[in-house]
Amino acid sequence: MDMAQRETWTSRVGFIFAAVGSAVGLGNIWSFPFQTASNGGAAFLVVYLLAVFLIGFPTMLIEFVIGRRSKQNAVSAFSELGYGNWTFAGVIGVFASFITLSFYSVVGGWVLNYIVGSVTGGYLGDASTFFGSVSSGTVAVAAHAVFMAITIAIVAGGVADGIERATKFMIPAILVLLAGLAVWGSTLSGASAGYAYYLSPDFGVIATNFTSIVPSAMGQAFFTLSLGFGVMVAYASYLGRDDSLPGDSAIIVVLNTIVALLAGFAVFPILAATDALTGSTGAGTAFVALAGAFGQLPAGRIIGFVFFVVLLFAALSSSISLLEAPASYVVDSYDTERWKVAVGVGVVAFLLGIVPAYGYVGLFNDFVFNILLPIAVLFIALFAGWIYGGEAVDELGRGTSLGRGAMTAWLWWVRVVVPIVVAYTLWLGVTNFYAGLVNGAYF
Among 14, 27, 346, 397, binds ligand PHE (CB under 6 A): 27
- Indicate whether 26 belongs to the interface with ligand PHE (CB under 6 A): yes
- Asked if 178 interacts with ligand PHE (CB under 6 A), we say no
First to last CA, the chain: 44
Q: How far is CA 306 from the centre of its chain?
A: 21
Are 284 and 131 spatial neighbours (Cβ–Cβ below 8 Å)?
A: yes
- If binding means CB under 6 A, how many residues of this protein chain bind ligand PHE? 15
Stretch that binds ligand PHE, among 17-25, 117-125, 132-140, 141-149 (CB under 6 A): 17-25
Cβ proximity to ligand PHE, 23 vs 65, nearer residue: 23
Closest CA to 69 of 413, 391, 407, 429: 391
* Residues 354-373, interacting with ligand PHE (CB under 6 A): none
Contact 194, 277 (CB under 8 A): yes
Q: Judged by CB, which is closer to ligand PHE: 224, or 237? A: 224
Percent of the chain that is helix, strand, coil (3-state, to 5):
80, 0, 20
Q: Which stretch binds ligand PHE (CB under 6 A): 18-26, 120-128, 134-142, 353-361?
A: 18-26
Q: Does 95 bind ligand PHE (CB under 6 A)?
A: no
Give whichever of 321 and 425 is closer to ligand PHE, judged by the CB atom: 321
- 277 backbone dihedrals φ, ψ, rounded to 5°: -65, -50
Residue 321 near ligand PHE by CB under 6 A: yes
- For ligand PHE, the binding residue among 9, 17, 28, 134 (CB under 6 A) is 28
Taking the complex as a whole, the smallest distance from the CB of residue 26 to ligand PHE amounts, in Å, to 4
Contacts with ligand PHE, 201-230, as mask; x by CB under 6 A: ----------------------xx-x--x-
Rounded CA separation 242/238 (Å): 11
Distances from the Cα of 432 to the Cα of 30, 278, 370, angstroms: 22, 21, 8
Q: Which one of the spans 269-277, 314-322, 403-411, 419-427 is the region binding ligand PHE (CB under 6 A)?
A: 314-322
CB contact burial 13-44 (16+ within 10 A = b; e otherwise)? ebbbbbbbbbbbbbbbbbbbbbbbbbbbbbbb
Give the nearest distance from C-beta 321 to ligand PHE in angstroms.
Answer: 4
Residue from 18, 23, 289, 312 binding ligand PHE (CB under 6 A): 23
Shortest gap between Cβ of 338 and ligand PHE (angstroms)? Answer: 18
Which residue, 78 or 98, is less far from ligand PHE as judged by CB?
Answer: 98
- Under the binding rule (CB under 6 A), the answer on residue 25 touching ligand PHE is yes
Task: Kindly list the distances between the CA atom of residue 270 and the CA atoms of 220, 257, 300, 400, in Å, as whole numbers in the listed order.
Answer: 22, 20, 10, 43
Q: Is 22 one of the binding residues for ligand PHE (CB under 6 A)?
A: yes
Are the CB atoms for 15 and 251 separated by under 8 Å? no
Assess 231 for contact with ligand PHE (CB under 6 A): yes
Torsion angle of the four alpha carbons 288, 293, 295, 300, in this order, in degrees rounded to the nearest 10: -120
Residues interacting with ligand PHE, by CB under 6 A? 22-23, 25-28, 100, 223-224, 226, 229, 231, 318, 321-322
